[in-house]
Amino acid sequence: MSRSVNDGLTPEDFLPLHRDTFQILVSLADCDRHGYSILLDIAERSGDPRSITPSTLYSSIRRLLESGLIKELHERPDSEHDDQRRRYYRLTTLGRRVAELEARRLQRLLSDARSGGLLPKRS
């Protein structure tokens, strides 16, 4: 019943990413995390504790799993201090590639904004 939609898709095909999706990928870029940890990380980075709700988070996770951008871990990285009921997720190679491409895309947008005078030029 798995509905894997990445058959034959290149990383570029995923772009542009939805904001929440990108946030989740960024959150998983440096370490494996469980759902709540992702939510906390995003809240911290965005400065908005309600930037993503629990149901939206897991909807996005489901979609990312199905499209093969993240995977669920069978081992538990931090099993001693951890809630048994939690599942951990890790970026796949494809997911990492997609996140990088999205970051570059955003970077280009930013540099465009700079050259247009919308942002101060880098020193």
Partner 1 sequence: MQEPRVVLFLYRLLLRLYPAHFRENYEREVLLVFRREWSKQSSRAPALWYFVTVATAVLTDAPKEHFEILVSDLHHAFRKSVRSPWFTVVAIATLALGIGINSALFSVVKSVLLQKLPYGKPDQLVRVWIRNPKQGYEHDISNWPRLEDWRRARSLQSVAGFTGARLILTGATEPLQLRGASVTANFFGTLGVRPLVGHDFEDGDEQPGRPRKIILSHGLWLSRFGGDPTITGRQLQLNGLSYEVVGVAPPRVRFPERDLDFWTPIVIDDRGRRSRGNFWLNVAARLRDGVTLRQAQKEMDKYSRALAEQHPEDREIDGVALVSLRDDLTGAIRPGLMILTGAVVFILLICCANIAGMLSARVADRTHELSVRAALGASYARVVRQLLTEALLLFVLGGAVGIAAAYAAIALLLHLAPPELPQLQDAHLDLTVATCSLAVSSAAGMIFGLLPAFQAARLGLVRNIRQGARGISGHLDSRRFRTTLAIGEMALAMILLTGSWLLIRSFRHIQQVSPGYDARDVTIAELQLPGSKYPDAQAIDFYTRLLDRLSHAPGIESASGITNFFLGRLPDSATFSIEGRPDKISLPLTTDAVTPEFFSTMKIPLLRGRFFDGRDRADSLPVILINNATASRYWPNADPLGHRITFGDPGSKGSRWYTIVGIVGDTTRAGPDQPAFTESYSPLAQIASRRMEILIRGTGARNALQAAVRALDANQPIIHFATLDAALGEQTALRRFTTFLLTLFAITAVIITGVGLYGLVSYLVTQRQQEFGIRFALGARPGNVLGIVVSRVMLMAAIGLVLGTLGALSLTKLLSAMLFGVGRFDVGSYLAAAAGLLLVCLAAAVSPAIRAVRTDPLIAIRVE
Residues that bind partner 1 (CB under 8 A): 1-3, 35-36, 39, 49-50, 53-59, 61-63, 83, 85-87
Nearest approach, Cβ of residue 73 and partner 1 (Å): 14
Q: Which is nearer to partner 1, 62 or 108 (CB)?
A: 62
Nearest approach, Cβ of residue 119 and partner 1 (Å): 30
Q: Which is nearer to partner 1, 56 or 93 (CB)?
A: 56
Tokens of 91: 């970026």
Strands (E), the chain: 33-34, 70-72, 88-91
Are residues 34 and 82 in contact, defined by beta-carbon separation less than 8 angstroms? yes
Q: Which is nearer to partner 1, 48 or 100 (CB)?
A: 48
Nearest approach, Cβ of residue 53 and partner 1 (Å): 4
Strand partners, 71: 90
C-alpha dihedral over 9, 11, 14, 17, to 10 degrees? 170
Tokens of 92: 């796949």
Q: Which is nearer to partner 1, 77 or 104 (CB)?
A: 77
